[in-house]
Amino acid sequence: MKKLMVALASVVFGFAVTGYAMASAKSADEEIKARIAPIGEVCEQGQSCGSAAPAQASAGSSGKPRTGKEIFEQVCTACHTPGALGAPKFGNKADWAPRIAKGMDTLYQHALNGFNAMPPHGTCTNCSEQEIKEAVDYMTSHSK
């Protein structure tokens, strides 16, 4: 009888330990899944995004279109301050003069559609056409 009780206790203890181990493993798996879960989702304009609204293009933190100076400082300065890949340097009249001579419409088209090493919108994927033009106006007004 004593052997039967010891055997039964061993079985019960074994089930308890196994259950605890399985619960711990499940808990660890859930913790790992929580740590590596995406922190957000991409929602593009025109898609059904549940309760989240897509980000509005061409709006600064105030909800208003950004100024040319703001766009320059946020985006354009990366290339136009050092003259990266042949970009005309901000404030450098010699760099800008031949470009300005081609006319503002040409400069706008180059900025909007890309030109040479500059990609369309100068990498500002959330800039409106008007904001890009304002940035061009800002750069050229400081380079005449």
pLDDT, residue 15, reads 57
**pLDDT at residue 19 is higher than 90:** no
pLDDT, residue 54, reads 46
Tokens of 20: 């605890």
The domain 68-141 belongs to what CATH superfamily?
A: Cytochrome c-like domain (1.10.760.10)
Query: To which H or E segment does residue 138 belong?
Result: helix 129-141
Mean pLDDT of the region 103-113: 95
Q: Sketch the domain layout of the chain as residue ranges.
A: 1-38, 68-141
How far from 25 is each of 9, 14, 82, CA to CA, in Å?
24, 16, 54
Provide the whole-model pTM. Answer: 0.59
Mean pLDDT of the region 18-43: 72
Mean pLDDT of the chain: 81
